[in-house]
Amino acid sequence: IAGITQAPTSQILAAGRRMTLRCTQDMRHNAMYWYRQDLGLGLRLIHYSNTAGTTGKGEVPDGYSVSRANTDDFPLTLASAVPSQTSVYFCASSDWVGQPQHFGDGTRLSIL
């Protein structure tokens, strides 16, 4: 079934550790996005990529980095995790920018 796969599903991480959240899509979508979802704040854009090889900063990029080496993969890295990064992280993709975005199942991340 075509779609977006995120891994891991959930993770508990000690503060200061490095963590990479994985996101893979098989729809050949050009654009991909990372959001974090916190209660009462909706979904906030962390980073995005319009096409393979390009990335950009969203609303809350500090403490996160991304790469887009190919069309299908868009990993999100926390270089040194802090408790305020405890959240649910969603990866999304769209055919092109400005087109409907489709979301993965999310990664629930707890930083202790």
Q: Interface with other proteins by CB under 8 A: which residues?
A: 31, 33, 40-45, 48, 50, 56, 58-59, 90, 97-98, 100-106
Q: Rounded to the nearest whole angstrom, what is the least distance from the CB of residue 17 to other proteins in the complex?
A: 25
DSSP state of 101: P
Least gap, CB of 96 to other proteins (angstroms): 9
Closer of 38 and 79 to other proteins (Cβ) = 38
Instruction: Please give the Cα distance from 46 to 62 (Å, whole number).
Output: 8
Name the minimum Å distance from CB 56 to other proteins: 8
What is the phi/psi pair of residue 83, to 5°?
Answer: -55, -30
**Given the complex with other proteins, which of 14 and 39 has the nearer CB atom?**
39
Neighbours of 24 (CB within 10 A): 18
CB 86 within 8 A of CB 110: yes
